Amino acid sequence: MYNIKTGRIREIGRSLKLFPGKIILLGSLVGGPIASGAYLMGLAMAGAYAIPISAMYILFGALFARIFLKQKIVPRVGLGMFICVVGAIVINWVKPEGSSNFTLGIICAFVAAVGWALEGVFAAYGSAMLDSDVVINIRQLLSGIVDLIVILPIVGGMGLLKGTLFSLPPIAWLIVSGLCAAISYLCWYKSNSTIGCAVGMSLNITYAFWGVLFCILFIKQPVTPTIIIGSIIIIIGAVLVSVDPFELLNKKED
């Protein structure tokens, strides 16, 4: 609706004809149906434990940026990556009781992290030459269409979708979560353009903490000391990967 109002909607077709647009399509498939689907499966099987694991996408993003975009990994980034790995080990040290598919859920969360990292690299390449509002539009449209037309029929979920649409409580929560996701995406891109990608990413990564906290507060997620400690460790490592704390302090002093 926003792109229609601003006249950007016609840019979607033109962008898809270009090579950067095709790269965005690839990133949309990897980050949408694959990564987001794996993340939801991880949440279903491992609960809040999947959230900080998925936040390791920033670690894989640094690795893929080194491989595909030839960006160097400085010692600070390497240290942050190592800290993220330590945090993941801590989280998985103690398996919660009654979680028979816990390990598979954690693996799904890792798949989500890898998928989102690849999406970030592809998006960085495509967005450098295309309008970011158009890029987001392409990403969400393709992801939604593939989920609806390809994924749901394959897994036999059309009947469940129909039942959900006519069930008030689930659909109400899904609408609220969808609006939250929309606001989140808009704020995320806005922050990257105003305060810089590094600072925006370091603040965005704190969703690992907020996600665990809200699971504890609202859905009574059983927790162990390892998930609390591991989440904090991963956030610290992710912040180190995305931003130099000494550089931030120097900017504040200036």
pLDDT number for residue 146: 92
pLDDT number for residue 195: 66
Q: How far is CA 147 from the centre of its chain?
A: 17
Reported confidence tier of residue 142, pLDDT bands at 50, 70, 90: very high
- 98 has pLDDT over 70: no
Reported confidence tier of residue 39, pLDDT bands at 50, 70, 90: very high
Tens digit of each residue's pLDDT (9 = 90 or more) over 149-166 = 998 898 888 888 888 888
Q: What is the dihedral of CA 40, 176, 10, 35, to 10 degrees?
A: -10
pLDDT number for residue 48: 82
Tens digit of each residue's pLDDT (9 = 90 or more) over 215-227 = 888 887 777 788 8
Looking at this protein, which amino acid is placed at residue 202?
Answer: S
Cβ contacts of residue 59 below 8 Å, gap of 6+? Answer: 80, 81, 84, 85, 113, 117, 237, 238, 241
- 250 has pLDDT over 80: no
Tokens read off for 200 = 């925006």
Rounded to two decimals, what is the model's pTM? 0.79
